[in-house]
């Protein structure tokens, strides 16, 4: 009989229960509870050091949690439960889980020696061993989808920051993830390039992609988000519909933060 995978039957894409994370004495996440439904766009805001990026990195097990439970698509992230005990998954099993999750960082992290097309094809061909012809066809469609059909043969150094970030989004989508994580994807861009990246993300939302977006773009959160989460000091202070939270925040800490950024 196989070991149980500890599935969470709630039908959520992401479920966090009392997630804790420490780096030495620094307690970065202090009992985070969150739930993301299929097709939902959750935007996460808050000051630097509030734990937003760390939480994203825990979702795809780039960081191991120190307490609580975290599920993606009904499966415990990074662990298997047997009885009351948790056992860490092997690296191979963690990598298999991670394939379901696309992540886009502040920095574009493209392979500088590869063209835009090759950047997209690398992981599906090498990690998933998919046939090259099918991957190439999908990659070309994705570059077209992010408005870069004319940049197939361009290297990262030949692209603007906004174009590189759009390639990075297309590269994440090439693995056909069920969840996309965005860690302040526009913060490294010149202001005039922000819009082209947000447009791609808007279209992903329209297409029904489940997304968690750590962002400072309040207009995007208001317009595209289904849920807005305000984090501070490792905790979720407030969450609700973006328009409600932005126009009528209940907590004084949220009010104070928004008075500085809106």
pLDDT tens digit sequence for 191-241: 999 999 999 999 999 999 999 999 999 999 999 999 999 999 999 999 999
d(CA 28, CA 250): 24
> What percent helix, strand, coil does the chain show, rounded to 5?
40, 25, 35
Q: What is the dihedral of CA 153, 175, 70, 257, to 10 degrees?
A: 30
Question: What pLDDT is recorded for position 209?
Answer: 97
What is the pTM for the complete model shown?
0.93
Cα 59 to Cα 55, 182, 218, distances in angstroms: 6, 12, 23
pLDDT in tens, 39-58: 999 999 999 999 999 999 99
Residues of the chain falling short of pLDDT 50 = 1-5
d(CA 262, CA 242): 13
């Amino acid at each position: 009989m196989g070991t149980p995978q500890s599935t969470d039957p709630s039908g959520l894409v992401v479920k966090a229960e009392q997630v804790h994370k420490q780096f030495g004495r620094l307690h970065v996440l202090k009992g985070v509870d969150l739930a993301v439904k299929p097709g939902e766009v959750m935007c996460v805001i808050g000051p630097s050091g509030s734990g937003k990026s760390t939480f994203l990195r825990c979702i795809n097990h780039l960081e191991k949690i120190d307490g609580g439970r975290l599920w993606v698509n009904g499966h415990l992230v990074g662990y298997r439960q047997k009885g009351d005990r948790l056992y860490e998954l092997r690296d191979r099993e963690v990598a298999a889980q991670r394939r379901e999750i696309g992540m886009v960082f502040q920095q574009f992290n493209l392979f500088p020696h590869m063209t835009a097309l090759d950047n997209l094809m690398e992981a599906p061909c090498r990690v998933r061993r998919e046939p090259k012809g099918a991957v190439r066809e999908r990659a070309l469609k994705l570059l077209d989808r992010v408005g870069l059909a004319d940049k197939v043969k361009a290297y990262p150094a030949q692209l603007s920051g906004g174009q590189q970030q759009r390639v990075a989004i297309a590269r994440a989508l090439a693995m056909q993830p069920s969840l996309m994580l965005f860690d302040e994807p526009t913060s490294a861009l010149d202001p005039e390039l922000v819009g082209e990246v947000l447009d791609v993300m808007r279209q992903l939302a329209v297409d029904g992609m489940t997304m968690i977006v750590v962002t400072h773009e309040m207009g995007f959160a208001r317009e595209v988000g289904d849920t807005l989460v305000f984090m501070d000091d490792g905790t979720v202070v407030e969450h609700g519909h973006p328009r409600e939270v932005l126009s009528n925040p209940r907590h004084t800490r949220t009010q104070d933060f928004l008075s500085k950024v809106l």
